[in-house]
Amino acid sequence: MDFRDDARLDGSQVESGGRGGFPRGGLAIGGGAAGVIALVLALIFGVNPGNITGGDPAPLGPASDLAAKCRSGQDADQNEECRVVGVVNSIQDYWPTVIQDYRPAKTVLFSGQVNTACGAADSSVGPFYCPADQRVYLDLSFFNDLQSRFGAKGGPFAQAYVIGHEYGHHVQNLLGTTDKVRGSQRGRLSASVRLELQADCYSGAWAKNAYETGLFEKPFSRQDIEEALSAASAVGDDSIQRRTQGRVDPDGFTHGTSAQRVQWFTTGYTSGDPRKCDTFAGGI
Ligand SMILES: [Zn+2]
């Protein structure tokens, strides 16, 4: 993944520094920390379904955007936070070409704990999207875990895949697809699995079209895509269950198997067409 040196970044799409504690009554919002932490492994790239009706965005604590620091593609190539900015910019340049009334969503980079309109969360939940405040939450330390604990190859494009997946949830929220999932549905053919696999597919569709957003030097390489596939495979329900409970329980699936996650990212990537991402239609 190589940004064009002179590509201009919009740092205001990413906030950095949301950290530390649960400020101003955050525990009361959306079930609180215990509820969120209980979901730990259920939220590997999750969409947080709590309090979907919520109105007011939760206070985020001290946060600053990266506008001053991340100005060019060169910054994105040299700095991890700026690379996130570049990827988010590209994703949000792409989706308006597909969805007429796309509304941008911010990414919040946090460290440790963060307070959101979906409740307070800590890093253990992994990256997630909160529909109630329409923000993507990302603790960059997760990407180290992805390698060390989940056995993925890692690399910049593993990160890009995850960010693409989270913005897939934002698109689902805008399109009303998120409403199809109620409560904590689980199981091989559950709406939750279908929603998650569709987000993987949307990430692939962006990856295919990302070069057209003008931010990158060249289309993504085979090696880039392999980083995404390795990450998708590492976070399949079956792989995670095998690692954490020593056996596979399809009734507990929430995100799809490794093979399914790889397959749906690939469907999005090879077609470049989000309309091919209809995971709700039939067999998955
Ligand atoms: Zn997800």
The 10s digit of each residue's pLDDT in 111-145 is: 888 888 888 888 877 899 999 999 999 998 888 88
The 10s digit of each residue's pLDDT in 156-167 is: 999 999 999 999
Instruction: Quickly state the pLDDT bin for 274 (edges 50, 70, 90).
Output: very high
Question: How many angstroms separate the alpha carbon of residue 141 from the centre of ligand 1?
Answer: 18
Q: Hey, which bits of 123-179 come out as E strands?
A: 128-130, 135-138
The 10s digit of each residue's pLDDT in 44-71 is: 666 665 533 344 444 444 556 788 999 9
* Per-residue DSSP letter, 131: T
22 or 98: which carries more pLDDT confidence?
98
pLDDT in the model for residue 126? 84
Question: How many angstroms separate the alpha carbon of residue 182 from the centre of ligand 1?
Answer: 15
Structure tokens at 136: 């993507």
Pairing of strands 64-65, 14-19: antiparallel
Question: How many angstroms separate the alpha carbon of residue 6 from the centre of ligand 1?
Answer: 32
Q: Which residues of 12-51 are buried (b: 16+ CB within 10 A; e: fewer)?
A: ebbbbbbbeebbeebeebbbebeebbebebbbbbbbbbbb
- What span, in angstroms and rounded, lies between the C-alpha atoms of 204 and 165? 8
Question: How many angstroms separate the alpha carbon of residue 48 from the centre of ligand 1?
Answer: 8
* Per-residue DSSP letter, 216: B
3-state secondary structure of 108: strand
The 10s digit of each residue's pLDDT in 219-257 is: 999 999 999 999 999 999 999 889 888 999 999 998 999
Question: How many angstroms separate the alpha carbon of residue 184 from the centre of ligand 1?
Answer: 13
- One-letter amino acid identity for 171? V
Instruction: Quickly state the pLDDT bin for 184 (edges 50, 70, 90).
Output: low
How is 39-83 classified by DSSP, letter by letter? TGGGGTTEE--TTTT--SPPP--S-EESTTT--BHHHHHH-HHHH
How is 223-243 classified by DSSP, letter by letter? HHHHHHHHHHHHT-HHHHHHH
* Per-residue DSSP letter, 144: H
Question: How many angstroms separate the alpha carbon of residue 198 from the centre of ligand 1?
Answer: 9
Question: How many angstroms separate the alpha carbon of residue 65 from the centre of ligand 1?
Answer: 24
3-state secondary structure of 222: helix
- What span, in angstroms and rounded, lies between the C-alpha atoms of 93 and 139? 23
Question: How many angstroms separate the alpha carbon of residue 59 from the centre of ligand 1?
Answer: 23
Instruction: Quickly state the pLDDT bin for 179 (edges 50, 70, 90).
Output: confident
Question: How many angstroms separate the alpha carbon of residue 155 from the centre of ligand 1?
Answer: 19
pLDDT in the model for residue 44? 62
